[in-house]
Structure 1
């Protein structure tokens, strides 16, 4: 028996509350970390972030209104638009080169970063692909699994390599994370995934070998600034005067926060302009230093609860397309949270990935709000049944 609920009743208000908590963290951290840049108006970045949040909520609401099943009709055009935009970044005069990379398109009144929106386009395209393959598959064998892997790679690798050549390793790894997460949800045999994992590890070991034995070839694969970041990650204190500077000061700030933090607007590292991009990529330093271990733990637990709710939505959805959509969003957000926090505390190399819903920035925030709109959309249109049995949910 179907339990009928209105769309408003079926909105996941827990998810919305967790988003609100993250927004509060964001505004506090941005205000504290960015006030030093504009002494005449310390609220400059906060006011802009509030505008981005309002725009994001409006767009998220719009995404929730359209039945997510309709996204199938736009999956191929959106994917094609995303690839074309990435090509324009790389090979047209509209591409903007800044800070050693070419990631933006100059559209006159504003600059946009197509790689951010490509994440959403790829999730929709891959969810549609896996839905069609799964629904049409009559037998589950090695051959059919290999076909699924080949098709996922066919649509995932073009944007991966286009973004990698910008160069933007962080976003390219996010694309890879989406691919891996959706492959896991597709039911592909574990032995295939194991072989793919061995291939990835072998690729990393090959790069290490080239670095030690054929540096000329290695330098054609890994850009010099990327190698500097790896050196700064492996031994930041040895290189604290150059490419380890940012990480060393971030570690000092987070370490000085101890249990309760130094207090809002009282962080020595945060307020002294010693950490570049502290209001964007390194915003976790602000939270760790000024709110301490307790504040950082609350933030991480909030993320955990957010992801837990998304997993529940994915598992309870009785439409495979919806399940794949939510799975792609989980892969998108979980990797970014892990990578950003890990790079701030020295567990991973530094990349230009923002902390979702916390870091200052428009393109990344809008992308993440669209992603949350998709998740909420799936939850609203998931039919729940009273006395549901295993057979009735199939």
Structure 2
């Protein structure tokens, strides 16, 4: 079992809030983490995809009132949205009775739907945390970063005994998501159409998103493509990185960049089944960029509005900008053993004057690359991001 960096933060959030929503795609390890947290205190666990557990909630208020002094873990809670109003009443009742707040850990794999449902009913009573696939900072010494990059961070893929078993798990995961999980959410999109869209995103990993071009390839209009994109973002399978658009007189790119969030799924969608095949594939650079972006987002628990990229018409460009408490970090991301700054990165740093600037490369040694810019390996960069998060 891999120890997750988010564990202590979730425990702290439960101590401070009546309810905590833990978001993450299916199979990312939410249930395992929730059970680990629950094992240290009186608790009950209900899986709302299991008929026997759903049957216990025929009268949810009556059932849950008997467990006001326990941590109640509700898995896949977005499937029973009417529970949120009940939870609000029970939280308020527990407060009046002096029986604690009634702690609830709510697990879900559909981000916007769950956040909308919970924020309407549990306003002022709920905190949100997102569990990403395993990050480089969470790896045991025996697992190299290259294996995490190749296989992705879903635990069963990462920890598979053989490379072929990892590939097969990811293939089955993709098929199950398309053929079962997404239709269960009430979305009526043919599985093959969504697979083609997902695969196109993998081919364009880290590229600017043009809905019209995708639409022409899929035979649908740009609005439909935007709906597909928003669905995959909501399911926490795709990341949209918005362009920087403030405090500059330069003419900037306005289109977002899209990434398949898990590098292993990206590779499987493209038919890449080994590390050697990855090294020879045109997606190599985009895959490394997406991998680093996801690790930084996870290590810093950064919201989408804290991450962006910079690209001006004249060629000035920064792969990733990280914002926190008014401070901006500029990060260039290239899979190389000999990092060299481009004129575009230098120009962009002159435009934005970031507080810190890094070149995230494929090596491990950390050293000054230019005035105010450090070459840095991924693990050490994540330590910097985590330290900044802890300090704030």
State the TM-score bracket (shorter-chain normalisation): under 0.3
**Does 1 or 2 have the higher relative contact order (CA < 8 Å, sep 6+)?**
1
Output the TM-score relative to the length of structure 1: 0.26
Q: TM-score, normalised by structure 2?
A: 0.26
Give the number of the structure whose residues are more often strand, by fraction: 2
